[in-house]
Structure 1
Amino acid sequence: MRKLLKFLVFLALVPVFVRSVDPTLNEDVLGLIVFKADLKDPDSNLVTWNEDDDNPCNWVGVKCNPRSNRVSELNLDGFSLSGRSGKGLLQLQFLRKLSLSKNNFTGTINPNLARLENLRILDLSENNLSGSIPGELFTQCRSLRVVSFAGNNLSGEIPQTFSSCSTLAAVKFSSNRLSGSLPSGIWSLNGLRSLDLSDNLLEGEIPKGIEGLYNLRAINLSRNQFSGQLPDGIGGCLLLKLLDFSENSMSGSLPDSMQKLTICNSLSLRGNSFVGEVPTWIGEMRKLQTLDLSGNRFSGQIPDSVGNLQSLEVLNLSGNGFTGSFPAGIFRLGMQVAMHSENRMSGPINDPLPSSVNTSFQNLHLLDLSNNALSGEIPEDIGVLSNLRYFNISSNSLVGGIPASIGELKSIHVLDLSENGLYGSIPSEIGGAVSLKELRLEKNFLAGKIPNQIAKCSALISLILSQNHLSGPIPTAIANLANLQTIDLSLNNLTGSLPKQLANLPHLVSFNISYNNLQGELPAGGIFNTISPSSVSGNPSVCGAIVNRSCPGVLPKPIVLNPNSSSDSAGVGSFSPNLRQKKIILSISALIAIGAAALIAVGVIAITVLNLRVRASTSHSAAALTLSGGDDFSHSPTTDVNSGELVMFSGDPDFSVGTHALLNKDCELGRGGFGAVYRTVQRDGRPVAIKKLTVSSLVKSQEDFEREVKKLGKIRNQNLVALEGYYWTPSLQLLIYEFVSGGSLYKHLHEGGGGNFFSWHERFNIILGTARSLAHLHQMNVIHYNLKSSNVLIDSFGEAKIGDFGLARLLPMLDHYILSSKIQSALGYMAPEFACRTVKITEKCDVYGFGVLVLEVVTGKRPVEYMEDDVVVLCDMVRGALEEGRVEECVDGRLGGNFPAEEAIPVMKLGLICTSQVPSNRPDMAEVVNILELIRCPSEGQEELG
């Protein structure tokens, strides 16, 4: 440091001499040393930066022009640096590339960076920068081509001066909090090739004049609040390959100019309010690989020209108003995903489905034709869809039987044929679907026995066969399906006794056999200790304590006194020994019977009184669970203190909650630190999950509760379980969530069986999806507090969805001591700062839990494993393996070596970094997302646009 001070004094006193001796290098050395002085470098990445060096060209992260020996590039991505970028960088007058992404820089963006006249690439993404984007940065823009501020906490509007930086080629401001409208004149940047403003709060209409961007390759304005129509001139961007305006509030029809986008390979407009028919010219966009028009208001027929899109891999037209039959050839494409649910499509089902002579469906993984008006029979050769993982044709008008080839679907995870007119028996070949996790055949006319072969579907989690005409006994072999969580065989004609082994199913949370002809004693143990009587009602010959019906042959045995006893002889002198014995037996038996009858009578009276009280208390709730329509928040108008208020965030006037589910243990999905979760169904047949909060006494007031819940209700992300509404009374608070059918990540990882487990690709996607959802929560100033694998749900597409986020916001009276006791079930996931009263709880506690979750997903092991004489902490185990050079051995052995080490090892290292004991050493979740994306695609985004 003394040498540096001397050097500064020397520069101040003899500036002319310095320039004459070394007109180049000293300024760069000085600038970088001053820059370093303002930073924290916990990993000592900048240890090679020495002020005594003649030049910085050999310093880590520094590149020089070989001719002039001036610094031309400074790349410090992912160096764990923190602090503020000071004035030292302004000395680097020949700098062409400045990349400081994936660090922890704070403060605002320095507007004086505009003074670096040669700067071409500026990347400050994935830091903790705040404030607005300085307008000065673009006023003196001379050579700036690439600028990225993505993944920060920037706010305010995009400055109007942005439109004057004519040299810009690539702009990425995604995942911030930018608001306002697009700057006028933005389309004058005719050199622009890539524009990503996604995941912000931008609003207003898209300005006209976009056709001037004849160099534009990609535009992403998704997840904002834009309104109005698509610009008419968008077809003028002839080089456009990606166009994403999804999840906004846009309307109108598709402009005809779009037919000129013949090289576009991805078009996503989902989640808007577009109307009209899809024009026939859509078939001219022959390079399309992804076409997503879901969640709009399109109507009419799907044009035949869609069949011309030979490159299509993903086609999603669900949630619109399409009518008519599917066009010939629409499914004769080599696609992977085809979703057309919730429309009004009609015609025979075998028209869209492929035949056995068609091999173009080898890549199809997902096919959803549910909630339409399709007719006819399921094709006999449905087994040709050999790679299908999700098949849903529920809620149509199909007839006929289930073809035997259904067993050839070896990769199928979800098979939903419910709510049709199918008849015949369930084919025994169903056992061939060895990967099946969810089987739904309810509300058909199926008859015959439940096949024993269903026990071969060892991965089965949900078995729903209710409301059919099935007969015969319940196969004992079902008790071998160790992963089963839900069994619904209600409203059939099943006979025989209930297999006792069902009580041994470890994960069963929902069981319903009501309204059959079953008989005998109910099993003891397991779910049958808490099962609701309604789940077994309607079976007159079933007996046991649950149905309050004694089983034959289990009356108390009579007490026999010894006739030769000499005690109390004075009282029995006139009876013979045999008669005396008989009378004693009768009297004691009678006493036992009378006592038992009295106890039963008292029990019946007590239960009746309790039921009347429960019904009285819940009748107010049930009466209030109706919805008045509304635009934003819809709620019941009642304000009576004895009734409740139901609020739905996207109002359907026909919504009704099945309040019986709250008294039905059979509908309970699970319990956590904040309450129990139940599954129930709306009037339209769509299931929802209801969390019944058990912390009512800790909720401060209705006003506070509603304010916080409405904030949580506005948070939307594809990897978050959507909060759809709530119900309030002073003694009962319910949260209404979307229902996720795939179960929790914990059960998939630790309670699976039969050799069915996540592939590496599935695990990576779960980690990435979880990271993205946490990054979104943190961007919205929401801390999860309770991240663990049991709170990560897996939907039917294999995507991760985080639940229970932000619930601590409902409890304003809690400090983090009480909070930690509420989530003590998250053993192994809790950051160390929970144990210290003086340390502030921040988003970094979620990062710690995420790091543990990453290691759990990769290794397949629990965060804490209890051995016979030892306790193994997962983080310590992986960290020790890394230090010993054998970290690759930690990867889940069930993968059998089928994983890329170049992805698995960096992912585990990232998990360890996230579990640092010091919160400031953990990266932010936005940084984590980008790191994961680089691990998956290490070369993406590294090439400068030329």
Structure 2
Amino acid sequence: MKRLFVVLALFFLSPIFARSLNPSLNDDVLGLIVFKVDIQDPGGKLVSWTEDDDTPCKWVGVKCNPRSNRVVELVLDGFSLSGKMGRGLLRLQFLQKLSLAKNNLTGSLSLSLVQLTNLRVIDLSENNLSGPIPGDFYRQCGSLRSISLANNKFSGHIPESLSSCATLASVNFSSNQFSGFLPAGIWSLSGLRSLDLSDNLLEGEIPEGIESLNNLRAINLRKNQFTGQGEIPEGIEGLNNLRAINLRKNQFTGQVPNGIEGCLLLRSIDLSENLLSGSLPNTLQKLALCNYLNLQKNEFTGDVPEWIGEMRSLQTLDLSENSFSGHFPNSIGRLQSLQVLNISMNAFTGSLPESIMNCMNLLALDVSRNLLTGNLPSSLFKLGLQQVIFSENRLSGGLESPFASSNENSRKKLQVLDISHNALSGEIPSAVGDFSTLQFLNLSRNLLTGGIPASIRELKALNILDLSLNRLNESIPSEIAGAASLKELRLDKNSFVGQIPTSIEKCSSLTSLILSWNNLTGPIPAAFAKLTYLQNVDLSYNKLIGTLPKQLANLVHLLSFNISHNQLQGELPAGGFFNTISPYSVSGNPFLCGAIVKKTCPIVLPKPIVLNPNSSDSTPDSIPQSHGHEKKILSISALIAIGAAALIVIGVIAITVLNLRVQSSTSHSAVALTLSGGDDFSHSSTTDGNSGKLVMFSGEHDFSTGTHALLNKDCELGRGGFGAVYRTVLRDGHPVAIKKLTVSSLVKSQDDFEKEVKKLGKIRHHNLVALKGYYWTSSLQLLICEFVSGGNLHKRLHEGSGGNSLPWNERFNIILGTAKGLTHLHQMNIIHYNLKSSNILIDSSGAPKVADFGLAKLLPMLDRYVLSSKIQSALGYMAPEFACRTVKITEKCDVYGFGVLVLEIVTGRKPVEYMEDDVVVLCDMVREALEEGSVEECVDGKLQGKFPAEEVIPVIKLGLICTSQVPSNRPDMAEVINILELIRCPSEGHEELV
């Protein structure tokens, strides 16, 4: 440290004086050490940089000239460095390449790096640098050949002094906030080969003189505000070496200049999303090497000329959203390299030429929104296309021939088929089931008849099926369940009959179900309640009868549920979405009742019983005919009231007696643990008047120890909001964990308790702690659980040195395993309520197991204030809606706790930490770090930089999304699993990181 202080002092004094005092410290060491002082290195990538070295040539990211031992390259790409670039770099007088890309550097570019006369390459892309570039930055740029400032936040004008850098070959200022006009002097850079100014705010016309850039190979001015009061510069024809031009999304007007034929080496042309007009210039046909031509969204008119077939190298041709007309040229068949053809949103007529069969490499074809007629071309289904879109044309005929003409190769490739909004007729052929890879099928707005073929079950990958606005008139087949990946099903405005198949419950991913305007009958299946992702349901204008299943109230994602104009009756489901359902969505059902329809539901009263001692009629409810004797009339409700009163009296007496007995027998209650267990599922349980009831779900185990094992402090594993946990051993040698509940005063009745516990006992998942049995008395309740040997996650993260045994790979697997366990609980309609790191147990293989789930259900009512008082140890994990009685408690509470848990695992910090003068809330701290671009600094220091940033950063962002203050903004746990599996993708060198 003392030597570092001397180094810094010498740096700010005279370089000559520094070398005279310590000749072993050259300018390169001084400069790099000062540079390091000015930045933050959270990953410790620069740990090898030390002032004790006489030369930096062996430092990470540093390359020296082997003869002079002077630094010639400094490459620190992706090191997660932050802070500002200090003047230390100016000491590197022999530096030729400076690359600091993909970091979090901030500040402006006030440092005159061009003073380094040997510097040839500057790459500062993908940082957070901002501010304008000083006007004199390029005055003395020496031998600079390449500069990249892409993906930063630079603003202001591009300085005219850029023209002073005569040696520049590559300029990349893309994805910044540069504004103003393009300086004319830029065309004086005669050696320029690549110019990328895309994604900025540049405006005005392109200045004249571009033809002087004889060496230019690529120019990208995409997504600016160039107005182009004239046309695209005529001088472009002079660019003999140009390979790619991209002027997309500007406001260029006029025609494509004929002189473009001079750019014979052009391979990519993108002039899309401008205001270009006229016809295609004939000179384009001379660009024989062009493989990409995009003229989308302009104002071109006229026919597409036959010479288009001369552009033999074309792989992508996009002429969509223009005003082309006439027949599409037959010469298209000459483009044998063509992969993508998009001519949608024009005015083409006739039919597609048969020559398109020669385009053997075609993968995607979009001819939608034209005026094409005739039949659907059968030949297309032999090409092995992945995407076919013919929507909004005037096609006629049937589907039988096109589908039957397909070959095995094409059936295994087609993913998108959209032939909607035409005049196709006939039935849907069963051959549709042969296209096993279909993900999107839209046949809506046609004249199709018949029904849905049973072969629909073969479309296992299908996400969207739209058959709406046809004339389909059969029943919905139960085979629809075979398309288990369906997310959207639209069958509205047909003539479907029969009942809605209950098998639809197997389409568990459904989010949208539209069956309106049909002739469907029968009840709404209770199976709908199993479609937990449903958001939009429309069953209106059918002939449905019966009552709505009460379980529909459990569909927490519902946004709309329209059952209007049916023959439904009874009361709407209570709770959830149905508390706020629109009256419009239930109108036209005269027998529905409830507050929403402003109609009181009738109260069904039992028929009174007439007792007449003088009646000879044996029928209990007959009316006596004698008028001389007194009649006695008692309703059933009266009899029930009398019986209830009697039971209350008996109950009071019984409870008094039991209380006296309990006081004398409490100390002996646990003796029942020495009894052999039964199984309420397949065996009988053991019950004793003096002890209580013991049930082991396996029916094969009993205990080898008595009460002393439970009361022995040495056997205690821990304590939580619901009770203490002890370890004991069964007679067969298997250890178990026993939770002794301390909420006896709040636990439900024995029947309710056993009902809930047996429900939990049936849950089996490799990421959930299994419940093996229970013990009940009025004063003591025990839960017998699987014993997990590896302890809990809280101890591994926060106590002792255990965190050192948790590398990133194990942490990620714990996050993913926990998510899978919670997802299984939510699929069983169980909310955990008490998720925290101490309730995540780690087994011997390192896999996580979620414990203590469902215990809140044992309380008499799920009052959030009772819950919060019982789980105070979950402070920091509890969702904000616990504090608001008007917000429903749902699975999203668990998602919030999971998000906090994710951040805890990644950072190694507790959800809430109390400092001397402050309280640090983990979610707020990480969110603030993300906004400041320093989120990697939050990663647990015990990982010592050994983690893949491409996984860690997305996982942190996922944790923050899960902890959103608004429940609806949080993803479902099933979605969380999908996101985690997308994040976990193998990368080079991954084994070393984990």
Bucket of the pairwise TM-score, normalised by the shorter protein: 0.5 to 0.7
Superposition deviation, residue 57 in structure 1: 2.0
Letter in 2 for 1:573: S
- Corresponding residue for 1:390? 387
User: Are the aligned partners of 2:508 and 2:530 in contact in 1 as well (CA < 8 Å)?
Assistant: no
Measured at CA, do residues 485 and 46 of structure 1 come closer, stay the same or move farther in structure 2, by a change above 3 Å?
Answer: closer
Deviates more, 1:111-120 or 1:317-326: 111-120
In structure 1, distance between residues paired with 2:883 and 2:125: 33
Write out per-residue CA displacement over residues 750-805 of structure 1, whole angstroms, 9 at most, x where no aligned residue: 9xxxxxxxxxxxxxxxxxxxxxxxxxxxxxxxxxxxxxxxxxxxxxxxxxxxxxxx
| 1:573 equivalent in structure 2 | 615
Could you say which residue in structure 2 is the equivalent of 1:347? 350
Report the counterpart of residue 227 of structure 2 in structure 1: 227
Q: 2:439 aligns with which of 437, 440, 444?
A: 437
Q: Tell me if structure 2 keeps the 8 A contact 1:111–1:135.
A: no
Q: Could you say which residue in structure 1 is the equivalent of 2:337?
A: 334
What secondary structure, in the 3-state scheme, does the structure 2 residue paired with 1:511 have? strand
For residue 496 of structure 2, what is the aligned residue in structure 1? 494
* Cα shift readout 1:339-391 (whole Å, capped 9, x = no counterpart): 11111111113x16733xx3x42x332211100001111122332121x2221
Deviating more after overlay: 16-25 vs 230-239: 16-25
Q: Calculate the TM-score normalised by the size of structure 2.
A: 0.58
Q: Which moved more, 1:486-495 or 1:427-436?
A: 486-495
Q: How far apart are 1:247 and its partner, in Å?
A: 1.4
Residue 568 of structure 1 aligns with an amino acid whose one-letter code is L
Q: For 2:331, what is the secondary structure of its paired residue?
A: coil
- For 2:496 and 2:127, the matched residues in 1 are separated by 62
Which stretch of structure 1 is more off in the superposition, 573-582 or 437-446? 573-582
More displaced 10-residue stretch of structure 1: 196-205 or 839-848 = 839-848
Q: Name which of 548, 561, 566 aligns with 2:567.
A: 548
User: Which structure 2 residues correspond to residues 797-836 of structure 1 after superposition, within 5 A?
Assistant: 832=903, 835=922
Counterpart for residue 197 of structure 2: 197
Q: Structure 2: which amino acid aligns with 1:548?
A: Q
Query: Residue deviations 1:724-753, cap 9 Å, x none?
Result: xxxxxxxxxxxxxxxxxxxxxx9xx99xxx
- The Cα offsets for residues 690-718 of structure 1, whole Å up to 9 and x where unpaired, read as xxxxxxxxxxxxxxxxxxxxxxxxxxxxx
Inter-partner Cα distance in structure 2 for 1:312 and 1:506: 43
Residue 67 of structure 2 aligns with an amino acid whose one-letter code is: R
Q: Distance in 2 between matches of 1:829 and 1:873?
A: 14
Shift of 1:65: 2.0
Taking the aligned partners of 1:820 and 1:193, their CA distance within structure 2 comes to 62
**Which runs of no fewer than 5 residues in structure 1 stay unpaired?**
592-745, 751-815, 865-870, 880-889, 894-898, 913-946
- 1:108 paired residue number: 108
* Aligned-partner SS, 1:154: strand
How much does 1:254 deviate? 0.6
C-alpha contact 1:153 1:177 (8 A) present in aligned 2:
yes
**Partner Cα separation in structure 2 for residue 343 and residue 297 of structure 1:** 10
Structure 1 residues 878 and 538, CA gap change in structure 2 (3 angstroms): closer
Contact 2:269/2:293, CA 8 A, preserved across alignment: yes
| Partner SS for 1:478 | helix
Could you tell me how far 1:336 is from its partner in structure 2?
2.2
Q: Which residue of 1 aligns with 2:256?
A: 254
CA distance in 2, matches of 1:77, 1:532: 45
Aligned length: 645
AA matched with 1:137: F
How far is the alpha carbon of 1:513 from its aligned partner?
2.9
Shift of 1:516: 3.1
Report matched runs for 1:159-174 at 5 Å.
159-174=159-174
Structure 1 residues 365 and 856: CA distance shift in structure 2, 3 A:
farther
Answer whether contact 1:514 1:534 (CA < 8 A) is retained: no
The CA deviation at 1:287 is: 1.3
1:718 equivalent in structure 2:
none
Task: For 1:500 and 1:117, locate their aligned partners in 2 and report how far apart those are by CA, in whole Å.
Answer: 77
Q: Does structure 2 conserve the Cα–Cα contact (< 8 Å) formed by 1:385 and 1:409?
A: no
Contact 1:226 1:250 in 2 (8 A): yes
Q: Which has the higher contact order (CA 8 A, sep 6+)?
A: 1
Which residue of structure 1 lines up, in the alignment, with residue 694 of structure 2?
none
Contact 2:184 2:208 in 1 (8 A): no
The residue that corresponds to 2:28 in the other structure is 28
TM-superposed CA distance for 1:505, in Å, is: 3.3
Question: Matches of 1:37 and 1:902 in 2, distance apart?
Answer: 32
Q: Measured at CA, do residues 110 and 176 of structure 1 come closer, stay the same or move farther in structure 2, by a change above 3 Å?
A: same
C-alpha change, 1:230 and 1:858, in structure 2 (3 Å) is same
Q: TM-score, normalised by structure 1?
A: 0.61
Alignment-derived partner of residue 78 in structure 1: 78
- For 2:153, the equivalent position in structure 1 comes to 153
Larger Rg: 2
| 1:401 match | 398
Runs of at least 5 residues in structure 2 that lack an aligned partner in the other structure: 549-562, 571-590, 592-601, 626-632, 637-815, 821-878, 904-919, 937-948, 964-971
Cα 1:834–1:200 change in 2 (3 A) is: farther
Which residue in the other structure is 1:655 paired with? Answer: none
Of 365, 368, 374, the residue aligned with 2:363 is 365
Distance 1:836 1:286 in 2: 58
Please tell me whether the aligned partners of residues 63 and 71 of structure 1 are also in contact (alpha carbons under 8 angstroms): yes
The answer (yes or no) to whether the contact 2:929–2:935 under 8 Å persists in 1 is: no
The reply to whether residue 2 of structure 1 matches residue 13 of structure 2 is no
The CA deviation string for residues 210-267 of structure 1, in whole angstroms up to 9 with x for no partner, is: 1110100111111111111311111211111111111122222111111112211111
Change (3 A) 1:425 1:858: farther
Q: 1:501 to 1:875 in 2, by over 3 A?
A: closer
Q: Deviations over 1:492-515 (max 9, x none)?
A: 233333222225532333333333
Distance change >3 Å, CA 273–CA 527, structure 1 → 2: farther
Q: Is the 8 A contact 2:543 2:567 kept in 1?
A: no
Amino acid at match of 1:316: D
Deviation at 1:477, TM superposition (A): 0.6
Question: Match of 1:739?
Answer: none
Partner of 1:216: 216
**Compared CA separation, residues 504 and 314, structure 1 to 2 (3 A):** same
Q: CA deviation at 1:491?
A: 2.6
1:854 to 1:343, Cα distance in 2 relative to 1, 3 A? farther
Q: Shift of residue 462 of structure 1?
A: 1.7
User: CA 1:268/1:560 → structure 2, altered by over 3 Å: closer, same or farther?
Assistant: closer
Deviation at 1:441, TM superposition (A): 0.8
Match of 2:378 in 1: 380
Deviates more, 1:406-415 or 1:824-833: 824-833
**Counterpart for residue 678 of structure 1:** none
Deviations, residues 558-602 of structure 1 (Å, cap 9, x unaligned): 99999xx9x7124x727574993999xxxx9xx9xxxxxxxxxxx
1:41-190 alignment, distance < 5 Å: 41-190=41-190
2:547–2:568 Cα contact (<8 Å) kept: yes
Alignment of 1:647-796 (within 5 A): none
Percent sequence identity over matched residues? 42
Return the offset for 1:157. 0.7
Aligned partners of 1:419 and 1:444 also within 8 Å: yes
8 Å CA contact 1:465, 1:488 repeated in 2: yes
Looking at structure 2, the residues matched to 343 and 309 of structure 1 have their Cα atoms a distance apart, in angstroms, of 21
Q: How far is the alpha carbon of 1:424 from its aligned partner?
A: 1.4
Contact 2:951 2:983 in 1 (8 A): no
**Deviations 1:880-905 (CA, angstroms, capped at 9, x unpaired):** xxxxxxxxxx8899xxxxx8x55594
Q: Which amino acid counterpart does residue 380 of structure 1 have in structure 2?
A: S
Q: Who is 1:841 aligned against?
A: 928
Please give the per-residue CA displacement for 1:166-213, whole angstroms capped at 9, x wherever unaligned: 111101111111111111221111110011111111111111111110
Query: Are the equivalent residues in 2 in contact too, given 1:382–1:405 (CA < 8 A)?
Result: no
Distance 2:956 2:459 in 1: 24
Q: 1:180 to 1:10 in 2, by over 3 A?
A: closer
Displacement after TM superposition at 1:315 (Å)? 1.5
Secondary structure at the aligned position of 1:463 is classed as: strand
